[in-house]
Amino acid sequence: MIVTLLAMVILLIGAVALVRSFNSSMFMAGNLAFKRDLVNQAERAVPVVMAALNTGALSTVAGRSAHAAASNYRASMLPTNDQGIPTALLDDTEFATVGQAANDIAVADQAVRLRWVLDRLCSEVGSEVDLTAPGNFRCTVGPTPDARGGSASDLNVATQRPQVLYRLSVRVDGPRSTQAFFQTTLAL
């Protein structure tokens, strides 16, 4: 009888441990699902930024030469933390100097909010034509168009300028205080 009671106590302890382990696993899987959903939600900022760069306020060299808080745009690199996240996304007071909260993308039925900033990877404000002139590189640049597959005979290589790079940084706030940060680099 004592052996049977002892065996039942051991089985009960094992059952409680299994249930707790299962709950922890389910909780972790749920958090990973939220995180994965935030990756998908972050993509909502890309068409907004691409529209501004292609046909909107940032579609001209002059439009990209100066800071534009109305477009969440900085004409020079934003300061970042050790992980490379712009500090403007970490601090609402600093964000107010870079962009406008009205540009946040809210997905109300899913309790998701995206805050984004676009910065030109240049050390100075000014015309990208001047900042990428030979001997005057003050921007991080991508390949010239001929390096992407065009033939040198079709292009006047001497007049080609490197493409200036832009960094889109997105903070996504989701359900259960889930927060994720994403970045991508763009060239026109």
pLDDT in tens, 100-156: 999 999 988 888 999 999 999 888 888 887 777 766 667 777 765 554 455 444 555
- Residue 170: band (very low, low, confident or very high) from pLDDT cuts 50, 70, 90: very high
Residue at token pair 């004409």: 75
pLDDT of residue 172: 93
Count of alpha carbons within 13 Å of 92, Cβ hemisphere only?
Answer: 3
- Residue 93: band (very low, low, confident or very high) from pLDDT cuts 50, 70, 90: very high
Cα torsion 128, 133, 137, 138 to 10°: value is -30
pLDDT of residue 146: 53
Structure tokens given for 85: 């996240």
Q: Are 121 and 164 in contact (CB under 8 A)?
A: yes
Of 99, 119, 102, which Cα lies nearest the Cα of 164? 119
pLDDT of 76 higher than 80: yes
pLDDT of 32 higher than 70: yes
pLDDT of residue 46: 92
Rounded-to-integer distance, Cα 72 and Cα 103, Å: 7
pLDDT of 89 higher than 70: yes
If you average pLDDT over residues 72-98, what whole number do you get?
Answer: 93
pLDDT of residue 136: 65
Distances (CA, A) of 150 to 6, 69, 145: 79, 36, 7
pLDDT of 80 higher than 80: yes
pLDDT of residue 39: 85
Rounded-to-integer distance, Cα 52 and Cα 43, Å: 15
Q: Which residues contact 7 (CB under 8 A, 6 or more apart)?
A: none
pLDDT of residue 169: 96
| Strand pairing report for 112-120 and 73-74 | parallel
pLDDT of residue 45: 92
Count of alpha carbons within 13 Å of 74, Cβ hemisphere only?
Answer: 24
pLDDT of residue 97: 92
Of 169, 173, 174, which Cα lies nearest the Cα of 186? 169
